[in-house]
Amino acid sequence: MGVAVPMAWQQWRLQVTGVSANLRGVSAPSASVVWASGSGSTILRSETGGDGWARIPSPSKDELDFRDIDAITDSMAYVLSIGNGAQSRIYKTTDAGKTWTLQFTNDNPKAFFDAMSFWDADRGLAISDSVAGQFVIIATEDGGKTWTRIPPDRLPAALPGEGAFAASGTNIALWGPDHVWIGTGASTKARVLRSTDRGTTWQIAETPLAASQNQGIYSIAFRDAQHGIVVGGDWSKEREAVDNAAITSDGGATWTLVKGLGGFRSLVAYVPGTEASFLAVGPSGADLTRDGGTTWTPIEGPGFHTFTFVPGQPMGWAAGSRGRVATLTIPK
């Protein structure tokens, strides 16, 4: 068997953000505007493709960890902070961060929100770790003015301790107007919740990924309604790649284990404009597949926590520890 040769593209281009925060959220609504978020109440925004970054004043006087940011347009974005109880919040801006509106504050002391995702400016979901054997998922249909918990009786039961990992803001994958998939872990199994009717009804499927308190699905991505990938591993063993990736070709009903990642990966994303390419990123490095996940090739360069592609383009931004941000373009 041959050994995969790292891609020496020299395509990673590091950018200066001026912060030392641990960045876990990044979102690019266009090729010129990109947002990032992380620890220490950090929110960043660039209007110049990342050549210059401005730190946006925090929406709160409290010290918050903004693990996920979703930019809908150049000026509209949602940001989610993590933590038990009221530390989990969602804020929204419509004026490029000049002002923010607090839209959601978690009132359950045992809930811990991990990630969110939006079909469009009005409709989105956010997920918490499970509480008392029940999944906690909230939804909005009005741009975040109201967030409503999906009734637990619509959802499968959760395993003890089952939840999502607040690692990259990509535990939730959306496709089309109604499809949603959510990856879980931190229990005895790594599973995928899925709905084809925007959360009205749900099914759940087991995956072959290893699962434990530190292990499971950290990220999920689909290129169409049928073909998707989950990645993860053990965050405490960054360079180990043990049963940490799986693919589906039936909309997430069944999953097949695949090999080839270079270590723990906290992010997987479909490469826009390609037939079946996905990028996987983690703190120890990155990998690319051209065939939907069957084979992977390492990309030379540093590691990151998360990544966002520009809509419709095979280029985007990675964000990671110590305020590190870089651009990457996937060649055809």
pLDDT, residue 8, reads 47
In terms of Cβ atoms closer than 10 Å to its own Cβ (0-12, 13-18, 19+), residue 279 is: buried
pLDDT tens-digit profile of 259-306? 999 999 999 999 999 999 999 999 999 999 999 999 999 999 999 999
C-alpha span between 321 and 106 (Å, rounded)? 27
| Containing structural domain, residue 38 | 13-329
pLDDT tier at 34, thresholds 50, 70, 90: very high
Is residue 8 a part of any domain in this protein? no
In the prediction, which pLDDT does 123 show? Answer: 98
At 332 the pLDDT is 78
7 is a domain residue: no
At 176, which CATH number?
Answer: 2.130.10.10
Total-model pTM: 0.95
If pLDDT is split at 50, 70 and 90, which confidence band does 4 have? low
Pick from 199, 212, 41, 225: nearest CA to 126? 199
Over residues 69-125, the pLDDT tens digits come to 999 999 999 999 999 999 999 999 999 999 999 999 999 999 999 999 999 999 999
Q: Domains in the chain: how many in total? A: 1
Please say if the pLDDT value at position 3 is more than 50: no
Structural domain includes residue 3: no
Would 299 be classed as within a structural domain?
yes
Q: Which SS3 state, helix, strand or coil, does residue 273 take?
A: coil
pLDDT digits (tens, 9 = 90+) for 197-245: 999 999 999 999 999 999 999 999 999 999 999 999 999 999 999 999 9
- Give domain status of residue 244, yes or no: yes
Helix (H) or strand (E) holding 66: strand 66-71
Rg (CA), the chain: 18
